[in-house]
Amino acid sequence: MLIDPKKTKVGFVGTGVMGRSMAGHILDAGYKLFVYTRTKSKAQDLLDKGAVFLPIDELAKTCDVIITIVGFPKDVEEVYLSENGLIRNAKENSILIDMTTSPPSLAVKIGEEVKKKGIFFLDAPVSGGDIGAKNAALSIMVGGEEEIYNSVLPLFNLMGKNVVYQGKTGSGQHTKMCNQIVIATGMIGVAESLYYAIKSGLDPETVLKSIGGGAAGSWSLVNLGPKMLKGDFAPGFYVKHFIKDMKIALDETVRMGIKLPGLELALSLYEELSKMGHENSGTQAIFKLYTK
């Protein structure tokens, strides 16, 4: 399929914290954009700019390429596998792209189902949070047929700066698990480092200037460390979604027969944070475990 802004109709399902910005980049590039979200008001800014709202089954019948980024695996199953879902209603030869983080096994299941309908599927989870989405600087990890990946690469390039083809269906989701494992354990290090700085009498913002540019530097430290210090726990990525991701990764470790004790510790701390009432806070709210 040739991706042409003048001809290709793009559907976008899910216009939350990240999806709204991602869809906006596609709309700004000149594509005819059709959107669906359970809460229509979340898509209002896109509709004001020219996007068209459609029920999900009508969107599936209309669009050539459909991108989804929803909350949880159960939402992915509903969007793709239900009676009114995408697979049952999609046009022949259309391309479905799930950018939600969900189990690799679910991506494989969807991939098998689409083959029966003469359509195509890519699993393409992302990393970079709301900042990466707004700046079209996401890291996008893609699994599926390489030919299909190449055909929609122009769309990926509108949303991300680091777009990498990983292999067969499910490979994108496995790569995202690798990403989340690094972040999970790293976020504990960021929070503990800044807490240590405060308790030792240092100016933590000055400490950040030193360690953010050295061997300890990371995206989480540089971008979320200052938010921790300011008490800014607004979600770029929700705690509840991070917990979901860590559980998916740990489920996969059971299948592989391996142990990841650092990830298990991170999950237990984030579950404690959630019990404190912070499931809808950003992941940087882990700092509150130390300062409560």
- For the chain, the structural domain boundaries read 9-168, 174-291
Model confidence over 128-143: pLDDT tens digits?
A: 988 899 999 999 999 9
d(CA 83, CA 88): 7
- Hunting for tokens 């022949």 — which residue is that? 92
Fold exhibited by the domain 9-168: Rossmann fold (3.40.50)
What is the reported pLDDT for 136? Answer: 97
CATH of segment(s) 174-291: 1.10.1040.10
Model confidence over 31-77: pLDDT tens digits?
A: 999 999 999 999 999 999 999 999 999 999 999 999 999 989 999 99
d(CA 272, CA 249): 18
Residue 97, phi then psi, degrees to nearest 5: -130, 115
d(CA 148, CA 152): 7
For the chain, which residues score pLDDT lower than 70? 1
Terminal CA-CA length for the chain: 54
What is the reported pLDDT for 2? Answer: 72
Hey, which residues are catalytic here? 176
What is the reported pLDDT for 1? Answer: 67
Considering only CA atoms, which of 273, 277, 279 is closest in space to residue 291?
273
Q: Return the C-alpha torsion angle 74, 143, 114, 43, nearest 10.
A: 50
